[in-house]
Amino acid sequence: MNVKKALIFAFFTAFLILGAVSMQRAMPDPKEDRIYMEIKAFSPFIVEKRIGGLTIIDKRYNDKKEKPDASDLYHRLDELEKLWGKESLKVEGNEVLITNEKGELVGKVLIQNQKEREFLKTFFGI
């Protein structure tokens, strides 16, 4: 194999590796689907599609809007949900209690297995 072919192969390989690494970095944190979707129903954050891109809307504060870059959108949404979860979620026994900003109980979600309990600890910090 001559030098030109080796150089082209090395360039192609480096391009594929860098692409895979950047895609992996752009992925949001993994979630436990069942419990996350039930808790998400009480979350004050909505992702809205607009002509100018995606917007995160916070329903608690008169529809406060954030417009992060497309590559940072889901990371920012995860950050906001984690902060909200530390304030509004509490684990008691096998239930997650969900409160609003006034401290009133608005919902309960049953924890069905140990994976969901570990997800609550790692993602929300509760």
What residues contact residue 54 under an 8 Å CB cut-off, 6+ apart? 47, 48, 67, 70, 73
Query: What mean pLDDT is reported for the chain?
Result: 89
Burial 5-32 (b: 16+ CB within 10 A, else e): eeeeeeeeeeeeeeeeeeeeeeeeeebb
Quote the pTM value: 0.78
- Tens-digit pLDDT profile for residues 16-75: 999 888 888 777 778 888 999 999 999 999 999 888 888 999 988 887 899 988 878 888
Q: How many residues does the chain have?
A: 126
φ/ψ of residue 67, rounded to 5 = -125, 75
The answer to whether 56 touches 68, Cβ cutoff 8 Å, is yes
| 110-116 average pLDDT score | 93
Instruction: Provide the 10 A C-beta neighbour count for residue 81.
Output: 22
Using pLDDT thresholds of 50, 70 and 90, give the confidence band for residue 1. Answer: low
The more confident residue out of 107 and 22 is: 107
Interacting residues of 38 by C-beta distance below 8 A, sequence separation 6+: 109
pLDDT of residue 76: 92
Domain ranges of the chain: 31-124
